Amino acid sequence: MVYATRKFTFSAGHRYWRPEWSAEENARTFGSLTVAHGHNYALEVTVRGPVDADGMVMDLTVLERAMRAVIDLVDHRDLGRAVPVLAGTITTGENLAAEFYGILDRALPPGRLKRVAVVETENNRFEYEEAGGAA
């Protein structure tokens, strides 16, 4: 089994907020993250498989097309307000990685997607991997 990882960057804004909570409860839980702010994110996607006769795990243009579809949804947008697929989601790195995994898994050949990582800052990286973490 061989793994290949592709990386793209995007910029987006968000804030942590649960509308069913009071402002005080949101502030207690999320602190300064209740204020709208932005990040320069990286989206890293790892695919896996045997090396085909063409010498590749998969055609990287297929992977790039799927990743660009995600980037087009979120780049320079308010994640919580302007991205319908994220409506009702607290746009934490954990939730973004899980949502992006679902989108990419439907767009790529079956069984090829291994992991999606969302890098929010140099100190914060969030990864979502297929159920069971099978290699």
Mean pLDDT of 34-45: 97
- Rg (alpha carbons) of the chain, rounded to whole number: 16
DSSP one-letter string for 76-131: TEEHHHH-GGGTT----HHHHHHHHHHHHHHHSPTT-EEEEEEEEETTEEEEEE-G
pLDDT digits (tens, 9 = 90+) for 63-115: 999 999 999 999 999 999 999 999 999 999 999 999 999 999 999 999 999 99
pLDDT at 135: 44
All domains of the chain, ordered by start, with CATH?
2-133 (3.30.479.10)
Rounded to two decimals, the pTM is: 0.92
pLDDT digits (tens, 9 = 90+) for 25-34: 999 999 999 9
